[in-house]
Amino acid sequence: MKRLLLLLSVFFFAINGLQAQVPQGIPYQAAARGANGQPLVNTNVKVRFSIIDSIATGTTVYQETHTATTNTVGLFSVNVGLGSPVIGTFAGINWGTNSKFMKVELDPIGIGSNYTDLGTQQMMSVPYALYAGTTTRTVYSPANNNLTLGMNYGGGIVGYILQFGDPGYDPLIQHGYIVAPIDQSIGKAWGCPTTASGTGGLNSYLMGSGQSNTAAIINNCGLNTPAGLCDALILNGYNDWYLPSLGEIQSFGGKGILIYGYNYWTSTECSNTTAYWVTGSDGSSGCPVKTSLVAVRAIRSF
């Protein structure tokens, strides 16, 4: 069976306190899903990364493999640069010359002999600490701005600041998610109890998809929904709130912003009858039936 991989996020960890030694690694997280759209849970997979120079079909300057195990929702995490090298060395990549492309391949059997090509994409924002290690030109980072996690800003609490690889990341200007300081409900059914809302596709899990998910839920399920509550919210002078996607709420879930012990709806659908929630205590997720009464917390983007 052909396997598909949904890329959720890629994080570059060298944001705080760049030291004399350049960090060599790009934390990478993704969710492995089967051809039927269901997560590959608790499964050993093999992942191969290739860094390609100049053009997508250019010379592979570095290649490595990783063995990873997915969790109960199909997520796995690895560090690009810390795998088993096949070609070249990660430290030897010259990030300061030419464009760089990253090719990702997956072997869902976990052996490493039957990789599926998942595509090659240009690395539009070079990992800035790695780039700093190979060039003398000025390199910007989110640290050039003054926002910090947990501070009051933009009508709520700064819950997450976008990192390298996140949709919408800009190395010159901080962007991220503002979390409403209070719950919009402590018990609300999701809506569309037995029908699809249009938010069950692969892209609906990603960071940056919450606003479009919210619009789709309102359009297909009505305003008397968690998505409708968030869309109608006017709080501290802001009216552009929405119900976060799974990827968005997991970026700040379990970090002391959401209420410990509560579960919170996301705008990501599991099936016609279920939708994702995330626990406020540790950020883990589940797929209860949509008629469950679950807490609601809105976010907005900055």
Q: Residue ranges per domain, the chain?
A: 3-132, 152-301
The residues, any chain, with a CB within 8 Å of residue 266's CB and separated by 6 or more, are 243, 244, 245, 246, 248, 249, 275, 276, 277, 278, 285
In the chain, the N- to C-terminal Cα span, in Å, equals 41
pLDDT, residue 143, reads 40
Dist. CA 146–CA 152, nearest whole Å: 12
Is 275's pLDDT higher than 50? yes
| Residue 126 banded pLDDT, cuts 50, 70, 90 | low
What tokens does 222 get? 């009505």
* CATH code matching the domain that covers 3-132, chosen among 3.30.590.20, 3.30.420.40, 3.40.50.300, 2.60.40.10: 2.60.40.10
pLDDT, residue 222, reads 92
Dist. CA 69–CA 104, nearest whole Å: 17
Task: Give, as one character, the DSSP assignment of residue 243.
Answer: P
Residue with tokens 């959401």: 258
Dist. CA 227–CA 214, nearest whole Å: 5
pLDDT, residue 237, reads 87
> Cα separations (Å) of 144 from 14, 132, 140, 273?
14, 15, 7, 45
Residue 5 near residue 37, CB atoms below 8 Å: no
The residues, any chain, with a CB within 8 Å of residue 173's CB and separated by 6 or more, are 145
pLDDT, residue 21, reads 41
| Residue 130 banded pLDDT, cuts 50, 70, 90 | low
Q: pLDDT of 135-190, one tens digit each?
A: 443 333 334 367 888 888 889 999 998 887 788 877 778 889 999 999 999 999 99
Dist. CA 125–CA 18, nearest whole Å: 17
**Would you tell me how many other CB atoms lie within 10 Å of the CB of residue 227?**
31
User: Between 128 and 142, where is the model more confident?
Assistant: 128
Dist. CA 189–CA 18, nearest whole Å: 45
Dist. CA 69–CA 78, nearest whole Å: 10
Phi, psi of 295 (to 5 degrees): -70, 160
What tokens does 287 get? 């797929």
Stated as kind and residue range, the H or E segment containing 198 is none
User: Between 130 and 71, where is the model more confident?
Assistant: 71
Helix segments in the chain, DSSP class H = 128-132, 210-221, 226-232, 246-250
